[in-house]
Structure 1
Amino acid sequence: MKVLVTGGAGYIGSTVVSALLDAGHEPIILDDLSAGRVEFVRDLPFHRGDIADRALVRSILSAHPDLRSAVHCAARVVVPESVSDPVGYYRTNVSGTLELVAALADGGVTDLVFSSSAAVYAAGEDPGVDETAPLGPSSPYARTKAMTEAILADVSAVTGLRSLALRYFNPMGADPALRTGPQQPVPQHVLGRLVEAGRRDEPFLITGVDYPTPDGTGIRDYVHVWDLARAHVAAVEQFDRALDGHRHQVINLGTGRGTSVRELLDVFTAVSRRAVEVVAAPRRPGDAVGAFARCERAAELLDWKAELDLEAGVRDALAWSARRGDVLTDLAEATP
């Protein structure tokens, strides 16, 4: 099956591409390389450009008239950056997606899998959330995801396009085969910052130690990026089943377990066999206490559950950090 993957040169998108290839599918990649890397898409069908460029999307669909499925991973994703640049985030994540969706619907694409986020949920007393939990996005980034889900629901109600929003929690690790991994030279996610701190022998900042949790640090549901990629493949292959009779559906992807930052640090220390100096720091703008996923719907509709544990995620992150320089040969902007 041919599958258009937007953002397919980025961290999650490139891992989805690898999983699609391993499952025998043919990914067609669209990425503007503003964050992605061309090294991840060499020797693959790749189009460089903006998701908002309707003419480009139409040309891709014209070149592949049998293309009926798309996975939309392209987005800006750094929470503090979204606080300082909300216009840029709404322009890319909401307006850009609206143009993309219009082009896909007009071009005959019927199945769209959207990379959403658990950041759309409201903080509550119960950190475990299912898909019916109240929404309450606390940052511009999170609001762009919630807005896009609403757009997809409305568009799916009146066009031939149907949509599935995968609300995943905190991606971690790398492709276990080390074909791809986090591409940013300065990681923003917590495990990436922890790996860098260990590699550089620098202090690790725990941003927020006053949350209402047992150890004061934020709770996250760290799900291995390869498990997320497998879920995208399952969604593409079982799209009708996943919709469960609806035109638009949302599904959580996580491990079902909450892990505090200090607990993650303990696992990192055990796996890496390296102690990292820890420094407490204030919360970052837009940060929330966090939550973990209740994933019964994913098990029922996708026949999916997370298989790789926290230790595997840390091991793969460390292995990718050691290999990254061989795959991504410089930190300058790559060009095709």
Structure 2
Amino acid sequence: MTDTTAQRSDRRGEESGDLTFDEAHDLTRRIIANVESVISGKTDAVRMALTVVLAGGHLLLEDVPGVGKTMLARTLGTSVGSKVNRIQFTPDLLPSDVTGVSVYNQVERRFEFSPGPIFANIVIGDEINRASPKTQSALLESMEERQVTVDGTTYPLARPFTVVATQNPIEMEGTYALPEAQRDRFMARISMGYPSADAEVAILTRRETSNPLDAIGPVVTNDQLVRVIETVTATYVSPAVTHYAVALARATRAHPDLRLGASPRSTLQLVRAARALAVIEGYEFVLPDHVDRLVVPVLGHRLVATNKALGHTGDSDAFLSALLDDIVAATPVPSVVPRT
């Protein structure tokens, strides 16, 4: 009798001491349920946020004020038993306020490093585009290399490490647009959008007398989260799906309406995110459909349209989203055979 995929997965988990696939999938469901107990009617946003965390990336939440960006970030941080720090970005925030600073110890007569709030598992960067470009750039090394260098000394960051940043649209007063290099560090960008009428009524009812965050706590430990991430990293991606992701990214680089296409880093992050989405949805291998659904949130914020192309529309995000949808529709979808 032939073993099923689940049986093989269970046996691998027992032999290695790691989580089985079913255990990892169950933990993702518990996290989502916990977050959705606070964030009503935003299933797609909740799943995307968890996808980025499990893929080891960073998330940019962009929308107008008051739609729940910070609440989503705080609820996600509360749901995992990891160290969570919050940074409120303001125009007068200094890079050392983020990374930390060396302080002179008069007793020991030497300088000691005092870590900044970046030293956490999940860092919530609230209104990141209200900080100056100099302070924004302080995040570049930590987001890419998972380390911070201060006064010539390099300090590794905790594992896992994810920045969940919120920002208002760049047209809002007192904001500084993130440069291309900074946007490329974020695995995905999503918008919350306004809640439905029923969800808004539920929000008003629940928050009239209490804060819903007070009613929830961690549903996984930091160690369990690390092991789920390891399961995601080991999720199978067939060569056909890998070539499919590359074809989508290369199509953006050759498109006449784009002056900046998707970087190789974005292709890598697209595949990583697809692995995480597959685990969340109960698949032990990545499907082309997983890649398709991540193209806009993972690639959209990295692209820059030509001035000529934007002359026909004033909405850059809508234009780029439609362009990516056209690229996905025009790219041949491969047939995928699960690894045996």
Q: TM-score, normalised by structure 2?
A: 0.28
Q: TM-score, normalised by structure 1?
A: 0.28
Larger proportion of helix: 2
Structure possessing the higher radius of gyration over alpha carbons: 2
